[in-house]
Each structure stands twice: as C-alpha cells, then as structure tokens.
Amino acid sequence: MRLQVFCEDRVGMTRELLDILTSQEIDLRGIEIDRVGIIYLNCPEIEFEQFSQLMSQIRQLDGVTDVRKISFMPSEREHTELSALLQTLPDPFFSIDLNGKIDFANQAAERLMTHHHSSLHNESIHTLLGFNVQRWLDKKHAEKHTEMVVIAGLDYQMEVMPVYINDETDVPVLASALILLKSLSEATMPIVTRQLDGDSGFEHLVGQSSRFKHLVAQAKKLALLDAPLLIQGETGTGKEMLARACHQRSTRRDKPFLVVNCVSMPDNAAETELFGFAGSATEPSKKGIFEQADGGTVFLYEIGEMSKHLQIKLLRFLQDGTFRRVGEEAEKKVNLRVICSTQKKLPDLVAAGDFREDLYYRLNVLALVVPPLRERSADIVPLAELFLTQLSQELHQAKPQISEELAEYLKQYAWPGNIRQLRNVLFRAMTQLDSSVMTSDDVQLPENESSSIISDETLDGSLDEIMKRYESGILSNLYRSYPSTRKLAKRLGVSHTAVANKLREYGLTKRN
C-alpha cells in the first residue's frame, strides 16, 4: 500500500511516522518527501483493522493534517507515465546503460527485433545494432551521435543521445544513453547518409535459402577484387542491387556508382553519354559517364543489348582505361571498375554473331549467377515481409500480417517476374487491403503463370511425398479460379468424385 501524509514542515515528523510503522511491525519499502509538506510511504498491504488503527495513529500526530491511501508513489507514477509515453512512440526506442546493455525497449523496438531476439532486456546494443558504446564514449565524448544502420534489409537513422544527471555538487554526470531509430526510404534519404561502410550494402539483401547464402558469400569475395564482374540472372532478380552491394564493399565505395541502361540508350547518343564530347564555340564540352565515375564503378545494365559499334569502343576502353571524347583527338585515362549484368546468355549471342567474343572474355573475368525466385522459395516470405514493411511506410498504412495460407500460396507460385513482380503484386494488394491480415484473396496472380516450384526445399522426402506436394499445389492454385468441385473437375478433365476425394485428402477448401 502507498500512503500520502499531508503535514507541517516540522523537525522529527518523519521519525515519528517511522516509529508508528515500527510499533505496528510494518516494513517500510520506500519513502519520498515532497518540498511542499507531503510524505509518501510505501508499505506492504495489511488487514483492514490494522490499517484503520495505523491511519488513526498517523492522524493523531502533531502537525499531520490528512492521510490518504494512493495507488502510486510519485516516482512510480512518473516512471509509469514516461514508460507509457515511450511505448506509444511509433519509432523504435532503447535506453542503454554505460556498458551498452538495454534497460528499456518500447513496443516498436520489440516488434522490429522480434525475429532475432525473444527479449531485449539486458541484450548488448552492439550485438543488436553494431553500436560500440565504449568507442562512442572515448571518441565522441558522449555527444549526440547520428549514423545509418540496416536492420532486416531496411535503412534506419540511429540517433544516440546522452543522458546527464546532476550529482550532489550540481556537476553533470553521464548516467545512460537513449537510442532512437527513424526509418528512412531510399528515395528521401540524403545521399551523404547513404554512404555505408564495409559490407553494409549486403545487409539490404534479404534471404534464408542455401542458394541465396551461397550467392552472397561468393559476391562478398568477388567484391574485393578490382576486376570486371559479370552478373547473370533473369529479369527482376535484383542484379543492380547486388552490383551496388559489391561496389559498397569494395575499396571504391567512397567514389561514384553510376548506372548505364544499355536497353534504353539510343545508339547515336550512347557514345556521347559514355565518353562525353569536346564541345564547340556555342556548346560547352561535357564529361561522359566513364569520366564522371573516375575512381568508382560503372554498372552496365543489360550489356547484351549494347550495339556492335559501342562494343568495340568498350573493348578498347577495358584494355587500358583510355578513351577519347567525341570530336576530340586527345586521349583521357580514368581508373574505374566495370560491372555488367545480362538476362541473356552471352555465349549464345556470341555464337549468333550479335556479341563480340573478345569483349565477352574481357567482361567474364569474374561472374555471379543470381538464381530466380522460383528456385529459392525459402526467401519468398522474408522478402514479402520486407516489402510490406517498406510499403506500409510509403503508403502510411499499418503493416498487415501474412496469413499462413497466403505464405504457402506465395511459395507455390512460379514468379516469372521474380522479386520485382513480388513487390508489385504486394503493392497492388496493399492499395486494396481493408484488413490487418493479408490473405490469398487479396493477392492477384495470373493463373497461366502459376506453377509449383522445383527447388531443393520441395524435393525433400520420397517420390510419393514429392508428387503429393506437387499435386496439392496445383489443386490449391486452380481451386481459387474454379471455386466449385464441378468446375474444377471440368477444368482438369476428371470426374467430380475424383476431384472431391483429392481435395478432401489434402484438406483443401475454398477458405484455405
């Protein structure tokens, strides 16, 4: 119980209150004294008769004007109100001690870290966010500090704020630190804050499958080598994002990363765009992309679409790093790395005479192959979670949960447009969603593109188990477009009884 004692400011008042508690054999858990003449006592709960006697004895003390039972001590109320306020913050918030251990984390922080930690209390902030408290204390002298961090593939601005309290001599003493994470989209983020260190570029790549982990491990090694890199993969697999990650991990990360789209660039303007032009009396000279990217990286998107004329120019440039601006005789030399991507098979283009063989061997020094999404089904749900988080921020909506039925539906789809198609499908679903849970009814996928995925994850078990999973996936997908057993039987060319038995065997209904 908590008691609030209104009294005069008299010497010995507190001692007399304590003597009453001692005579009643009541433990004192805490005491607080207000400057305006109020004493607060925190004691264990007691029986009604003893409580009535205690209240009577306190009221009889000289100088006591009133005594009441209250719910909270002042410090408890202040702490409760502050905790409630921090819990309502939409941004993740942490309070840490000077050893870097978490004392408090609000609900937004718990939700953000829920996939990694069951409880955040007493966790190391260095393990969670990579923030070294001791280094901050030594180098920053506990000043306010801001840096970029990447969590689950998303960018956050981390603000670290020191908390000082005054000691008995009124000298400020550092007691703890507060950390606030503010989510930032790539579109609104200042360029300077996007300059992440080390291999942080790879933290934007999300996946759990063995093929994804192997790709990232291989890419991190090749990123450190200063030689041409060829990235192959179907459309929408994230080749440009992988190229950016390789640039960010390389020694060139502080220099420009420029993208050249070989598909959309007209041939008559492409040479000027790449190499620049000398200019004239009426028009100033212009630097080309290669010259602008000096010291950095140029990413040639869809190199298989490059014209034969530009292939010759590029081959010469790759040999020694020299080139001429259009209309200029003097040679210029730059130092940069070239990373290319293609969804076409360059050996086939070489065999058909559409791509120079010598250029192919010059570009194919180092190579990465990005697997399509249908071959890494374990990555589909983590990617969907990432995209829903991003889209909820862009659309200013609450992030919906993915139902288990939708998760299976997404994993069984072939995704011919790969990661880009997955994000677009979820964006369309978010714009129409009226519920806090997203189901397959909210997602529109073309039936003729739907198929079961053949991957390492789906090939576990015996032949009979694999065939049953495959058959179940086909029936599950088609049942959405033919929501009656008779229509589905007609679509598959089998009897109504056979379809009904199969649906019953696999536990498939219109709802799931």
CATH of the domain at 499: 1.10.10.60
pLDDT tens for 34-81 read 877 788 899 998 888 889 988 999 888 888 888 999 888 888 777 777
pLDDT tens for 342-395 read 999 999 999 999 999 999 999 999 999 999 998 898 999 999 998 998 898 888
What is the predicted pLDDT for the residue at 60?
A: 87
Do residue 388 and residue 420 come from a single domain?
Answer: yes
Do residue 359 and residue 496 come from a single domain?
Answer: no
Closest CA to 177 of 189, 187, 164: 164
Whether the CB-CB separation of 219 and 242 falls below 8 Å is answered with yes
- Distance (Å, whole) CA 487 – CA 24: 82
pLDDT tens for 180-220 read 988 765 434 333 333 334 334 687 788 888 889 899 989 98
Mean pLDDT across 211-231: 91
pLDDT higher at 117 or 477: 477
What is the predicted pLDDT for the residue at 141?
A: 67
- For a pLDDT cut of 90, what percent of the chain falls above it? 27
Q: Is residue 478 very low, low, confident or very high in pLDDT (cuts 50, 70, 90)?
A: confident
DSSP assignment of 172-188, as one string?
A: EEEEEEEEEEEE--TTT
- Domain of 444: which CATH number? 1.10.8.60
Whether the CB-CB separation of 293 and 336 falls below 8 Å is answered with yes
Strands (DSSP E) found in 127-166 = 145-151, 154-166
Classify residue 152: in a domain, yes or no.
Answer: yes
Mean pLDDT across 331-339: 93
Mean pLDDT across 100-116: 78
Q: What is the mean pLDDT of the chain?
A: 83
What is the predicted pLDDT for the residue at 187?
A: 34
Mean pLDDT across 255-265: 87
What is the predicted pLDDT for the residue at 270?
A: 82
Strands (DSSP E) found in 201-275 = 229-232, 257-261
pLDDT at 127 over 90: no
Helix pair 485-492, 463-481: axis angle to 10 deg: 120
Give 369's strand partners: 232
Least confident of 134-143, 181-190, 273-282: 181-190
pLDDT higher at 213 or 455: 213
Do residue 146 and residue 50 come from a single domain?
Answer: no
Do residue 223 and residue 246 come from a single domain?
Answer: yes
Contacts of 194 (CB under 8 A, 6+ apart): 148, 155, 186
pLDDT at 256 over 90: yes
Classify residue 81: in a domain, yes or no.
Answer: no
What is the predicted pLDDT for the residue at 115?
A: 46
Do residue 358 and residue 386 come from a single domain?
Answer: no
Least confident of 124-128, 164-168, 312-316, 427-431: 164-168
Classify residue 84: in a domain, yes or no.
Answer: no
Q: How many helices (H) and strands (E) in the chain?
A: 19, 20
Long-range contacts of 142-149 (CB under 8 A, 24+ apart): 142/174, 142/177, 148/193, 148/194, 148/196, 148/200, 149/181
Do residue 337 and residue 378 come from a single domain?
Answer: no
- Distance (Å, whole) CA 394 – CA 388: 10
Mean pLDDT across 489-509: 83
Whether the CB-CB separation of 334 and 289 falls below 8 Å is answered with no
pLDDT at 30 over 50: yes
pLDDT at 139 over 80: no
pLDDT at 511 over 60: no
pLDDT higher at 207 or 506: 207
Two tokens, residue 19: 């003597």
- Distance (Å, whole) CA 138 – CA 91: 28
Do residue 349 and residue 252 come from a single domain?
Answer: yes
- Domain of 115: which CATH number? 3.30.450.20
Classify residue 31: in a domain, yes or no.
Answer: yes
Domain boundary among 369, 384, 409: 369
Do residue 255 and residue 400 come from a single domain?
Answer: no
What is the predicted pLDDT for the residue at 194?
A: 35
Backbone φ, ψ for residue 10 (5° rounding): -125, 140
Tell me how far apart the 2 most distant CA atoms of the chain are, in Å. Answer: 108
Q: What number of other Cβ atoms are within 10 A of residue 272's Cβ? A: 15
Whether the CB-CB separation of 314 and 321 falls below 8 Å is answered with no
- Distance (Å, whole) CA 2 – CA 349: 83
Do residue 242 and residue 365 come from a single domain?
Answer: yes
* pTM for this model (two decimals): 0.58
What is the predicted pLDDT for the residue at 197?
A: 40
Q: Is residue 510 very low, low, confident or very high in pLDDT (cuts 50, 70, 90)?
A: low
Segments forming the whole domain that contains residue 483 = 460-505
What is the predicted pLDDT for the residue at 65?
A: 87
Do residue 62 and residue 128 come from a single domain?
Answer: no
Classify residue 298: in a domain, yes or no.
Answer: yes
Q: Is residue 114 very low, low, confident or very high in pLDDT (cuts 50, 70, 90)?
A: low
Do residue 467 and residue 429 come from a single domain?
Answer: no
- Distance (Å, whole) CA 95 – CA 102: 6
Helix, strand or coil for residue 295? coil
Classify residue 512: in a domain, yes or no.
Answer: no
Q: Is residue 333 very low, low, confident or very high in pLDDT (cuts 50, 70, 90)?
A: very high
pLDDT at 328 over 70: yes
- Distance (Å, whole) CA 75 – CA 268: 75
What is the predicted pLDDT for the residue at 430?
A: 92
Classify residue 182: in a domain, yes or no.
Answer: yes
What is the predicted pLDDT for the residue at 451?
A: 45
- Domain of 243: which CATH number? 3.40.50.300
Pairing of strands 93-96, 154-166: unpaired
Closest CA to 450 of 474, 479, 424, 472: 474
Domain boundary among 194, 221, 238: 194
Do residue 221 and residue 324 come from a single domain?
Answer: yes
What is the predicted pLDDT for the residue at 481?
A: 67
Q: Which residue has the tokens 């030594």?
A: 138
What is the predicted pLDDT for the residue at 426?
A: 94
Classify residue 380: in a domain, yes or no.
Answer: yes
Two tokens, residue 318: 């790759």
pLDDT tens for 236-248 read 999 999 999 999 9
Domain boundary among 165, 194, 223: 194
pLDDT higher at 139 or 17: 17
How far from each other are the two terminal CA atoms of the chain, in whole angstroms?
A: 53
- How many domains does the chain contain in total? 5
